[in-house]
Structure formats: C-alpha cells, structure tokens
Amino acid sequence: MPGPYRVAVLVGSLRQDSINRKVARALIALQPPSLAGEIVEIGQLPLYNADADASPPAPWTEFRDRIRAADAVLFVTPEFNRSVPGALKNALDVGSRPYGHSVWSGKPGAVVSASPGGIGGFGANHHLRQSLVFLNVPMLAQPEAYVGGADKLFDAQGNVNNDGTRKFFSDFMAAYAAWVASNAKA
C-alpha cells in the first residue's frame, strides 16, 4: 500500500486558539500511520478576484501548490451564520480558479465541524459539502462529524480531555484513512 497519504488540513477559523484548530490538531495526532496530515493556513490569502488570474498573488500560488501536492483534503470548520467562514470559502475559490485548473478535483475529502453549541456546526458541514461535491471532491459520507460542546472537550494545553471524544476522533480518522486509500489517485 502506498503512503503515507499527504493530507492538507484546512481550518475554517483563523484564531490561533480556536476550538476548530484544537480539533484539527487532535485529529492529526490521532491519524493512522497511512496518513500524514498537516494544517495548510488560509488566513494569508487575498480575496479571490478573477482580475488577478493572469498574474496571481504569491499567496495564491503557494496555496495552490500545497493543495495540488496533497493526496487528500480534510476540512475542520466552525459555523458562521449557518454557513462556512468567509476565509474558508475564499480558499475554495482561490483553489478552484482559474476555470479548468482546480487543485481540488479528485482529492478524497471529509468535513468535521465543531461548535460550543449543541448541533456542532451541522449547517456549515453540509453547506461546505455542497461546494466540495461541485468541486469534484469525493466526500466521506460516514461517519459524519458534528462536534457539539467542543469548548469543553480540551484541557488547558489543548489536549482532548476525555476518552469518548478521543475514540470518536480516532475512529473517524481510521474511516477517513480507508476512504483516502480507496479514492486517492494512483
């Protein structure tokens, strides 16, 4: 089996101490050996504007190169107004343009949403899936990952503070690893 598969992990929240960044770090720490996940930052990306396609800003080019080099993509996001944060939508747009040169196409993906609220970012999770399906990202359907009450799942050092959450994250990453292995381009 080839591997480890390079996974670009995109965090929808730009805050360094965000709940979703903690979730992303926990998922990376619990990934099986067949995956090599790494957070790819999105906060430095200028807003997408087609006028710049002929001479793209360096952050766009660097971002596209990092996603292009990845075998798979994992999105960890909060919910803003029943959708994804603008920075994450901008990253999708930057990576999908110019038309016909999308860096997303064919990369196996998954979405984890986390929130202090009870529904765990359900709206953002499904809104993001809609865009990713259009971008030809084969999406892991099960298990779904809506992490509610996420503000209480970490200790002061940012580590998962209970076995149930740790097991859920580990099981999710095992399922995602199997999904990547069965869908990654050879």
The residue-averaged pLDDT of 32-52 equals 97
d(CA 174, CA 142): 11
- Nearest CA among 22, 47, 57 for reference residue 156: 22
d(CA 84, CA 130): 11
Total Cβ atoms within 10 A of residue 183:
17
Report residue 185's pLDDT band, with 50, 70 and 90 as the boundaries: confident
pTM value is: 0.96
Which residues contact residue 132 at a Cβ distance below 8 angstroms, ignoring those fewer than 6 apart?
75, 92, 104, 109, 111, 139
> How many domains, in total, are found in the chain?
1
Kindly report, residue by residue over 73-132, the tens digit of the pLDDT. 999 999 998 989 999 999 999 999 999 999 999 999 999 999 999 888 999 999 999 999
Residue 33 has pLDDT above 80, yes or no: yes
Residue 186 has pLDDT above 80, yes or no: no
pLDDT higher for 125 or 1? 125
- Nearest CA among 81, 148, 155 for reference residue 112: 148
Contact 141, 176 (CB under 8 A): no
We report the CATH number of the domain holding residue 39 as: 3.40.50.360
Domain of residue 29, residue span: 5-183
The pLDDT of residue 2:
61
CA distances from 135 to 2, 3, 26, 115, 116 (A): 25, 24, 27, 25, 29
Give the helix/strand (H/E) hosting 11.
strand 5-11
Kindly report, residue by residue over 127-177, the tens digit of the pLDDT. 999 999 999 999 999 999 999 999 999 999 999 999 999 999 999 999 999
CA 33 to chain centre: 19
The pLDDT of residue 119:
87
- Nearest CA among 143, 68, 69, 82 for reference residue 111: 143
pLDDT higher for 91 or 186? 91
The pLDDT of residue 114:
96
Total Cβ atoms within 10 A of residue 48:
18
Contact 185, 72 (CB under 8 A): no
The pLDDT of residue 53:
95
The pLDDT of residue 6:
98
The residue-averaged pLDDT of 38-42 equals 98
